[in-house]
Amino acid sequence: MDPISRSQRKLAHDIKLRTLKIVNVLLMTAAFAVVWMVFLQSHIASPYYNKGNWLVIFIYLLLYAILGRTYDAFLVSYNRISDMIYSQCLAALIADFFLYILTWLLAKHLPNVLFFLMAFGVQILISILWSSLAHRWYFKTFPPKRTFVVWDMRKGMTDLIHEYGMNQKFNVVGNCRASECIEHLDCLEGMEAVFLTGVHSHDRNIIIKYCVEHHIASFMIPRIGDVMMSGAKRMHMFHLPILRLERYRPVPEYLFLKRLFDIVFALIGLIITSPVMLVVAILIKKYDGGPVFYRQCRLTKDGKAFDVLKFRSMRVDAEKDGVARLSTGEADPRITPIGRSIRKVRIDELPQFINILKGDMSFVGPRPERPEIAKQYEKELPEFRLRLQAKCGLTGYAQVFGKYNTTPYDKLQLDLMYIAHPSLAQDMQIIFATIKILFMKESTEGIEEGQTTASQEKEIEKNI
C-alpha cells in the first residue's frame, strides 16, 4: 500500500473511531438530560431558563467525557468489552454523584436520589449496548494489524498480546532479535505495527526511523534512560536545540498547592472515614487481641525513614523469622480473615491519612518501600533509588497502571514517569484512576507463594 493510501486509511479510521466515542458521550449525557429536564430542573430554588438548563447538561457532558478519558472508557480498539463497561459506568456514577451535589446546592434541599438512580440504570444499559456493538463493529470493520515483534533483552511480547486478548488488534506474523532486524530491515516491509521490547537506543532508533518513514506504528517498552529523557526540558542555546535534564525539582507553586491539598483532604478523609475506621479497629482487636495498627519503617524523599501506619491485616507473628516477604495475595496464609476483607478495598491504608498530615507522605507519589527491600533491589538495580527523588504517596502511577506483583524494574519505570512530569493535573488523574482499581482484583495479585524479596532479583535481570 502506498504512503498516501495508508495515511488516508488511518485518517478514516480515526474519524470513525472519534465519531463512535462522541456518540457514547452524547447518549450517556442524554440519559441524564432527560431526568434533569423532566424531573429535576423545576425543583431548584430559582428555576433556570433554557440556557441555564443546557449549561447544567453541558457540565455533565464535560465531566463524563473527562472521567471517561481518565478511565480509558472509550478505547474500543484496545479494551475488552467488560473493561469498557466497567470504566464507563464508573465515570457515569461519579458524574451523577457530582451533579447530585450540584442539584442539592441549587435546590437547597436533598433531591430525590431515585431520579439519579433511574438515570444511572439507563446509562448502564447504554454502556452495555454501546460497548458490545462498538467492539463488534470495530473488529469487523478493521482487521488485525500485521505485527512484528523486535526484542533484545526482553522477550515475551507475543505471549502478552495473547494473554491480554489483543489478538483481534495485533496479528503477530513474525519476530526476531534487534541485531537481525537491523541487518534485514526489509523484514518489516508490509507491517502495520512493530513492538520493540528491551532494545538498546542505537538499534531502536534505526528501527523507529524506518517505521516512521514507512508509515508503520511502533510500540516501545522504554528503558530507564528513555523514561528519564521524557521529562527533559526543551530549550535553545548556541542556536541549537538543547534538552535539559536534572533531578526532580518542581516549581514552588506546585509544591505549595500539593501540600495544601494534602492537608485539606487528609483532614476531610479522616472525618468521613472515622466511623469505618472505628469499626475496623474493633474487629481487628476482637479477632485476636493483638494491636490494631501496624507500624513499619519506610523510605520517603531523599531516603528519609519514617513509620508508615496501617491497620494490621496479618497475624502478629507474620514475619517472626525476620525474612521480608512480599504478599502472595488472597492465598497468603499470614493474612487474617478481617485483613483479607479490608485489603480488597484498601481500607487497611486509611490510617495513612495521619502520615499525610504529618508530612511524611503525600496523596500521590511513589509508594514507600521498606529499607531492607529497597536494599535488596538496589543490589541488582542501582537505579531503584531514583524513586526517592519525590515524596512517597498513598497512591501512585505504579499502583494505578501496574499491579502488586509488577516487577521492581517496571515499577521503577512507572514511578519515574510520574517524577518526570510533576503537575496537579497528573496528580488528580492518578487520584481518580485510583478509584477505578479499588475493586479490580488483578491490581492486588500477589507473587508466587513463598517468594521473598530477594528472589525477585532474578526477575529484575530479565527486564534490564
Could you state, in order of their start, the residue ranges of all structural domains in the chain?
A: 3-141, 145-221, 252-463
Amino acid 297: pLDDT: 94
What mean pLDDT is predicted for residues 190-207?
A: 91
pLDDT value at residue 268: 95
Chain centroid to Cα 433, Å, comes to: 6
As a whole number, mean pLDDT of residues 252-281 equals 94
Q: Is residue 175 within a helix (H) or strand (E), and if so which, with residue range?
A: strand 170-177
- pLDDT band, residue 225 (cuts 50/70/90): confident
Contact between residue 226 and residue 201 where contact means Cβ atoms under 8 Å apart: yes
Element at 364 (helix H, strand E):
strand 362-364
Instruction: Give the Cα separation of 167 and 430 in Å (integer).
Output: 29
State the Cα–Cα distance between residues 83 and 73, nearest whole angstrom: 8
Nearest to 354 by CA among 391, 387, 394, 390: 394
- Alpha-carbon distance of 383 to 363, in angstroms, equals 24
Over residues 368-378, the mean pLDDT reads 90
Whether the CB-CB separation of 127 and 88 falls below 8 Å is answered with: yes
Say which amino acid occupies 145: K
Q: What confidence score (pLDDT) does residue 327 get?
A: 58
Model confidence at 188, pLDDT cuts 50, 70, 90, reads very high
CATH number, span 145-221: 3.40.50.2300
Question: Tell me: the pLDDT tens digits for 395-418?
Answer: 999 888 887 667 888 889 999 999
Asked if the model's pLDDT at residue 273 lies above 80, the reply is: yes
Q: What are phi and psi of 299, to 5 degrees?
A: -110, 140
**Which of 49, 46, 86, 56 lies closest to 68, judged by CA?**
86
pLDDT in tens, 20-76: 999 999 999 999 999 998 888 776 756 666 778 889 999 999 999 999 999 999 999
Confirm if 410 and 381 have CB atoms less than 8 A apart: no
Q: Which residue has the higher pLDDT, 2 or 64?
A: 64
Amino acid at site 336: T
Which has the closest alpha carbon to 199: 213, 187, 214, 181? Answer: 181
pTM for the full predicted model: 0.80
Q: How many CB atoms lie within 10 A of CB 434?
A: 18
